[in-house]
Chains A and B, each alone.
Chain A
Amino acid sequence: MPRTERNLAAGVAGALAVAATYVFFLIYAQFGFLHLLDARLGGGAAVGSAMAAMGIAGLVASLLTAVALRRVPANLALLGGLFLSAGSGLVSIVAQSAPALIASGALIGASTAILTVSLAAGLRDFVPPHRVGIVAGVATGAAYLVCNLPALFEGAPREQACVAAVLCTLAAIAVALASLHVRRSAGVRHEPAHEVALFTRAGLAAVVVALLALIWLDSAAFRIIQETAELKGITWGSETQKLIQGLAHVAGAVLAGHLIDRGAFRSIIGVTWILFAASFLAIGTSPSWIVLVGPLYAIGISAYSTALVAYPSLRDDELGLVSRRWRAGLLYGVSGWIGSALGVGMAQDLHDIPNWFLAASGLAIGVALLHRHRSAIVRVFRAAAIPVMLAGAAVVVHVAWQPGAAGSAVERGREVYASEGCVNCHSQYVRPGTFDEVAWGPYHPIDRNERPPFVGNRRQGPDLMNVALRRSPVWNRVHLIDPRALVPGSRMPSYAHLFVEGDSRGDDLVAYLDTRGVAFASERLAAVTAWKPPVNLIPSALQGRAVYLGQCAACHGERGHGDGALAARFRTPVLNLLKPELLSLNQTAVAEPEEVQLARIVKFGLAPSSMPGHETMHDQDVVHVVAYLHELRSHRARLEATRRGSR
């Protein structure tokens, strides 16, 4: 079969066609046109109809293009697709009525389908086979960068359609010129060895499934981001963010293209899913992780977009392999249009990507990518049959024979402590003669009547041997439900699921914790009374304010009035730190300077109230907080004195 002898002009034309196609699709077909519909139709069913018309036309036209490419040369179909896309965009901006806009939607869908299928099927007629990936990558990255330019991204639909039309026209001219000037010759140069298995029927089915899952995820995510101000703010919010996103797109696309040319097509698909999963999961975590959401997502989009446009042309038409036109037709028809429709539907109905769906998509992609190893997978499953069956039996035994809740709440709570593996993070052992006794309460030998003693090996959290002397049941309850609300930066998992209605496990656990160390209250009080802040520490109210805002304000409020965000979660009102009677709560009942009394309360709390101690807070920070409290209280006292004087 004669082959096209590629030259630089043809390569540039191919790259320009890829870039124009993506710009048209990204900035207008799936973005600007939607805004146009919203603006002219005011939302509602007509917008849905226009989008449905676009999807249906896209699906049908993708398959029809694949059929037509049997007789029509791909470069001719590409020319037609480029001109049709440019025209459909321009026509849509003059359409005003609902029927005209619905028809425009169908036209845009059909023209996009013709363009994408003919481009993907014919790319290797313009580009050397060993550079299909990198050319697709560079062009895809450039298109995403252009679309992320603030002027275009924030531009009116009319401007976006015009830019896309101009680019499509330029690409069409380049394609026409390249088609006229390329010469045909026999022979193949630098044919890369992309694995055959990817292009058989089973291979194509696997690729279609994997890309369907990715496009589904991406369409849902992009829609949700655009409709959620908070998410938009952390991804495409500022102009700088848009540019960073654009550069991330370039990096992702170029790297993906380079790796695809080296036979890493499967890995690119797998890595894209990992990037998507990582970016979705990073939402809702700490600010330091949230900044990664946008770039990770952008790199993932560009990587799979490059794979999508490159895949059909990675191998030529060969005996036993699916032809390029059907690779492109099925990929864009099924994965592209159906995947997009499912993603948009998910975003509209759920406004979320459920974690189970994320996991299921990962599983589907994993199985699809490993399909060539299916005999090995089957053998591994067969070898694991007995262990897997026994694991299943464990679930059945657990469900069918759950030991009923027996004994007192404390005994049941002890069981919860064991079953939740609390011992893996919390010790119950105070080492005599160490810092432990100051922080965690008095030493006592392990009680071998406890079955078993929960001594533990590790303190990822505090020791709990005497926790009842340091934390109230209410505090423990709030903390178990929402640990980071009370202890900023805590690594403790939330146990809110133990406190749902009808489940006594959470309250049982709290009851058990409230027995830890109660027999040693007098020793604890003596140790607390004996403690005094070191006299050589220099207090700073300014530094104390910083510590106070981080550790205390959540309950006591910014100004110490007891009106913090968490105050409502406690049964009794949170103390107003400015009230003079605060000091009367001090357990030592010894006349001491206010600073010492306040320091003791900060360090060890006020048992049995819900005021917790801050046992591991550095003494210097304790002194700083006391200085800040002293300043707050003095300020209040001065104000009151002034008020009384003015009366």
Chain B
Amino acid sequence: MIDRSAIFGRTTIHAFAWLAIGNAAGVVLALLLLVPALGSMLGELTWGRLASVHLSVQLYGWCSIPMIALLWRVYVVSPRAGRLAPLALDAWSGALAFGAVSWLLGSNSGKPFLEWAGAPRWLLAVAMWILALALAAALIAQRRSSSVGASSLAWRAKAAALGALFIVPLVLALSADRAVYPAVNPHSGGATGWSLLGSTLGIVVIFIATPALVGVERKGSARAVATCWIALAASGTLFALVGHGDRSNHEPAQIAALATLLVWPPLLLWLYSKYEWPAASRRWLGAFGVWGSALVSTAFAMFLPGILERTKFTNVLVSHSHLAMAGLVTSFCMLLLTTLDESGRAGRAAGDRMTFWLWQTAFVAHIGALAYAGFREGSDPGLAFGPSFAIDAAYAVRAVAGIAMLALSLVWLWRAQAVTEEELNV
């Protein structure tokens, strides 16, 4: 029998461990850009291979595992239901570890964020299916151990969502196939307006559902919830109607479609303000709001003709990616972990004021330095290719900030496991 508290504790430790590993890879990358000669010590572990590890570990480790915690919250409602949870967690981390080593050894699809190639590609799918099976077992155990019948609406909704989860591994494995390549904006070589709208709406669905799924208490009426779902339906309709395919950011319809995303920061902030969040989560909720608003507004600005040409392929885009991952997504993951972890491990690890503000300070320095370097590149495209004091200085600030963020992630990991130790001793 495994209690829910132990499951959440284990999930928290896995999440923090991948954050630390991803940040460590990031620090090595930052140092290699600053002092390229250091690369001679790493042999075949060159920048390109390490970059794949950094990107994918952050995405499939740090960003994904808190989502698994959310699934535990929804599906594992009794101790018996969580029997397969540790196996599923180990399988997920194992597949990611297998993938990370494979990328270091040079097995790569060549598609950023979908680097899974060969055996790791299918191992990840298997790990995802094990997770889905663990959730299915939990769902069945829930029906057997309680009065909830198969006819219950909530039980049916969970079953339907689980059915969709079984398809995800296949979709991901197929997306990583080399023959599949998404639509391309011909003017930038990057994402189109409609694809950005669609992928963002997918994330918005998670954001809207989260307060209800994590079980925080709602204050007052459900008007904010209803408004968000209606707005989502409207946005979904717009997404279906706007032109698809290789569409340009010079097309007014694509720009207008993407502009509709600007309604989401205020709507989501309104929604989240209607819930009672635990004390340890509130700072991260604030950061979630600030960085989410910054991300959406800058994403829209950077899509506009004239601006995209100046920023695409430069460090402005790298800065923007970090705004998304180290800013918005990290805040959201922390919000999830500190709210969900019933043992309080995550809250005690990352709910304090000092590490929160240190992270925010290092993060702002990090993205600020990269944005500065990127704007310089925008006006002088060759600046990053050769010697440049401005770029060196920006990379030095980025490296120092990255080291600070790595240290903080290690502190959180250490604290999280120390809480487990205290509890074991008790």
Q: In the assembled complex, which residues on chain B have CB atoms less than 8 Å from the CB atom of A422? A: 48
In this assembly, does A495 line the interface, its C-beta being within 8 Å of a C-beta of chain B? yes
B186 touching A487, Cβ below 8 Å: no
B10 touching A383, Cβ below 8 Å: yes
Q: In the assembled complex, which residues on chain A have CB atoms less than 8 Å from the CB atom of B384? A: 459-460, 491
Q: In the assembled complex, which residues on chain B have CB atoms less than 8 Å from the CB atom of A451? A: 178-179
Q: In the assembled complex, which residues on chain A have CB atoms less than 8 Å from the CB atom of B387? A: 488-489
Q: In the assembled complex, which residues on chain A have CB atoms less than 8 Å from the CB atom of B112? A: 423-424, 456-457
Main secondary structure of the interface of B (DSSP, over half): helix
Shortest CB-to-CB span from A621 to chain B, Å, is 11
Q: In the assembled complex, which residues on chain B have CB atoms less than 8 Å from the CB atom of A427? A: 189, 313
| Closest partner residue, chain A, to B119 (CB atom) | A397
B91 touching A459, Cβ below 8 Å: no
A248-287 Cβ-contact flags toward B at 8 Å (1 or 0): 0000000000000000000000000000000001001110
B313 touching A458, Cβ below 8 Å: yes
Q: In the assembled complex, which residues on chain A have CB atoms less than 8 Å from the CB atom of B210? A: none
In this assembly, does A585 line the interface, its C-beta being within 8 Å of a C-beta of chain B? no
Shortest CB-to-CB span from A70 to chain B, Å, is 39
Of the listed stretches A110-118, A170-178, A412-420, A556-564, chain B binds: A412-420
Q: In the assembled complex, which residues on chain B have CB atoms less than 8 Å from the CB atom of A432? A: 186-187
Q: In the assembled complex, which residues on chain B have CB atoms less than 8 Å from the CB atom of A457? A: 112, 190, 313, 317
B98 touching A391, Cβ below 8 Å: yes
Q: In the assembled complex, which residues on chain B have CB atoms less than 8 Å from the CB atom of A452? A: 109-111, 178-181
A392-412 Cβ-contact flags toward B at 8 Å (1 or 0): 111101100000000000000
Shortest CB-to-CB span from B30 to chain A, Å, is 11
A424 touching B93, Cβ below 8 Å: no
Q: In the assembled complex, which residues on chain A have CB atoms less than 8 Å from the CB atom of B297? A: none
In this assembly, does A588 line the interface, its C-beta being within 8 Å of a C-beta of chain B? no
Tell which of B13, B33, B48, B387 has the most Cβ of chain A within 10 Å. Answer: B48
In this assembly, does A380 line the interface, its C-beta being within 8 Å of a C-beta of chain B? yes
Shortest CB-to-CB span from B347 to chain A, Å, is 20
B95 touching A390, Cβ below 8 Å: yes
Shortest CB-to-CB span from A487 to chain B, Å, is 6
In this assembly, does B184 line the interface, its C-beta being within 8 Å of a C-beta of chain A? yes
In this assembly, does A379 line the interface, its C-beta being within 8 Å of a C-beta of chain B? yes
Within the complex, which residue of A383, A418, A617 is in contact with B110, where a contact is CB–CB below 8 Å? A418
B77-114 Cβ-contact flags toward A at 8 Å (1 or 0): 00000000000001101111111111101111111100
In this assembly, does B220 line the interface, its C-beta being within 8 Å of a C-beta of chain A? no
A432-467 Cβ-contact flags toward B at 8 Å (1 or 0): 111100010000011010011111111111110000
B382 touching A388, Cβ below 8 Å: no
B110 touching A389, Cβ below 8 Å: no
Complex Cα distance, B101 from A567, in Å, reads 40
Give the tally of cross-chain contacts (CB within 8 A).
193
Tell which of A418, A423, A460, A493 has the most Cβ of chain B within 10 Å. Answer: A493
In this assembly, does A484 line the interface, its C-beta being within 8 Å of a C-beta of chain B? yes
| Closest partner residue, chain A, to B114 (CB atom) | A452
Q: In the assembled complex, which residues on chain A have CB atoms less than 8 Å from the CB atom of B37? A: 284-286, 484
Q: In the assembled complex, which residues on chain A have CB atoms less than 8 Å from the CB atom of B48? A: 420-425, 493
A383 touching B386, Cβ below 8 Å: no
In this assembly, does B193 line the interface, its C-beta being within 8 Å of a C-beta of chain A? no
In this assembly, does B421 line the interface, its C-beta being within 8 Å of a C-beta of chain A? yes
In this assembly, does B158 line the interface, its C-beta being within 8 Å of a C-beta of chain A? no
Given A431-B188, A615-B382 in contact, is the A379-B317 Cβ separation under 8 Å?
no
Given A460-B33, A494-B40 in contact, is the A387-B51 Cβ separation under 8 Å?
no
A489 touching B386, Cβ below 8 Å: yes
Complex Cα distance, B312 from A274, in Å, reads 37
A420 touching B381, Cβ below 8 Å: no
In this assembly, does B401 line the interface, its C-beta being within 8 Å of a C-beta of chain A? no
**Which residues of B from 168 to 189 have beta carbons under 8 Å from A?**
178-181, 184, 186-189
In this assembly, does B32 line the interface, its C-beta being within 8 Å of a C-beta of chain A? yes
Within the complex, which residue of B17, B36, B117, B309 is in contact with A434, where a contact is CB–CB below 8 Å? B309
Complex Cα distance, B384 from A489, in Å, reads 9
| Closest partner residue, chain B, to A395 (CB atom) | B101
| Closest partner residue, chain B, to A433 (CB atom) | B187
Given A395-B105, A490-B385 in contact, is the A417-B110 Cβ separation under 8 Å?
yes
In this assembly, does A492 line the interface, its C-beta being within 8 Å of a C-beta of chain B? yes
B44 touching A497, Cβ below 8 Å: yes
Chain A: number of interface residues, binned into ranges: 35 or more
Given A389-B94, A435-B381, A491-B33 in contact, is the A421-B417 Cβ separation under 8 Å?
no
In this assembly, does A355 line the interface, its C-beta being within 8 Å of a C-beta of chain B? yes
In this assembly, does A236 line the interface, its C-beta being within 8 Å of a C-beta of chain B? no
B36 touching A484, Cβ below 8 Å: yes
A387 touching B90, Cβ below 8 Å: yes
Q: In the assembled complex, which residues on chain B have CB atoms less than 8 Å from the CB atom of A484? A: 36-37
In this assembly, does B314 line the interface, its C-beta being within 8 Å of a C-beta of chain A? yes
Complex Cα distance, B374 from A460, in Å, reads 11
A394 touching B110, Cβ below 8 Å: no
Shortest CB-to-CB span from B230 to chain A, Å, is 35
Tell which of B32, B43, B105 has the most Cβ of chain A within 10 Å. Answer: B105
In this assembly, does A357 line the interface, its C-beta being within 8 Å of a C-beta of chain B? no
In this assembly, does B52 line the interface, its C-beta being within 8 Å of a C-beta of chain A? yes
Q: In the assembled complex, which residues on chain A have CB atoms less than 8 Å from the CB atom of B119? A: 394, 397
Complex Cα distance, B47 from A420, in Å, reads 8
Given A390-B95, A448-B181, A616-B382 in contact, is the A420-B186 Cβ separation under 8 Å?
no
B283-323 Cβ-contact flags toward A at 8 Å (1 or 0): 00000000000000000000000000100111001100000
In this assembly, does A531 line the interface, its C-beta being within 8 Å of a C-beta of chain B? no
In this assembly, does B35 line the interface, its C-beta being within 8 Å of a C-beta of chain A? yes
A419 touching B107, Cβ below 8 Å: yes
Shortest CB-to-CB span from B387 to chain A, Å, is 3
Q: In the assembled complex, which residues on chain A have CB atoms less than 8 Å from the CB atom of B10? A: 383
B36 touching A431, Cβ below 8 Å: no
Q: In the assembled complex, which residues on chain B have CB atoms less than 8 Å from the CB atom of A388? A: 97
A342-361 Cβ-contact flags toward B at 8 Å (1 or 0): 00000000000001000000
Given A455-B189, A487-B385, A616-B382 in contact, is the A285-B35 Cβ separation under 8 Å?
yes
Shortest CB-to-CB span from A495 to chain B, Å, is 7
In this assembly, does B41 line the interface, its C-beta being within 8 Å of a C-beta of chain A? yes
Shortest CB-to-CB span from A112 to chain B, Å, is 36
Tell which of A380, A392, A417 has the most Cβ of chain B within 10 Å. Answer: A380
**Which residues of B from 41 to 61 have beta carbons under 8 Å from A?**
41, 43-44, 46-52, 55
B186 touching A445, Cβ below 8 Å: yes
B105 touching A398, Cβ below 8 Å: yes
Complex Cα distance, B188 from A148, in Å, reads 60
Within the complex, which residue of A395, A418, A425, A455 is in contact with B184, where a contact is CB–CB below 8 Å? A455
Q: In the assembled complex, which residues on chain A have CB atoms less than 8 Å from the CB atom of B380? A: 616, 618
B102-144 Cβ-contact flags toward A at 8 Å (1 or 0): 1101111111100001011001000000000000000000000
Q: In the assembled complex, which residues on chain B have CB atoms less than 8 Å from the CB atom of A1? A: none
**Which residues of B from 387 to 405 have beta carbons under 8 Å from A?**
387-388
Shortest CB-to-CB span from A615 to chain B, Å, is 7
Complex Cα distance, B94 from A454, in Å, reads 28
A462 touching B41, Cβ below 8 Å: no
A420 touching B106, Cβ below 8 Å: yes
In this assembly, does B38 line the interface, its C-beta being within 8 Å of a C-beta of chain A? yes
A421 touching B51, Cβ below 8 Å: yes
In this assembly, does A94 line the interface, its C-beta being within 8 Å of a C-beta of chain B? no
B181 touching A453, Cβ below 8 Å: yes
Closest 7 CB pairs of A and B: A616-B382, A421-B48, A489-B387, A418-B110, A429-B189, A390-B94, A419-B106
Contacts A425-B47, A459-B314 known; 4 new A-B pairs at CB < 8 A: A286-B35, A421-B47, A452-B111, A490-B386
Question: What are 24 A-B contacts with C-beta separation under 8 Å?
Answer: A281-B41, A284-B37, A285-B37, A286-B35, A383-B10, A386-B90, A391-B98, A398-B105, A420-B46, A421-B52, A424-B48, A425-B48, A431-B189, A439-B381, A445-B246, A446-B181, A457-B313, A458-B313, A458-B318, A460-B385, A462-B382, A484-B37, A490-B36, A491-B32
- Where the two chains meet, the residues of B that have a C-beta atom closer than 8 Å to any C-beta of A are 10, 13, 17, 32-33, 35-41, 43-44, 46-52, 55, 90-91, 93-103, 105-112, 117, 119-120, 123, 178-181, 184, 186-190, 246, 309, 312-314, 317-318, 380-388, 417-418, 420-421
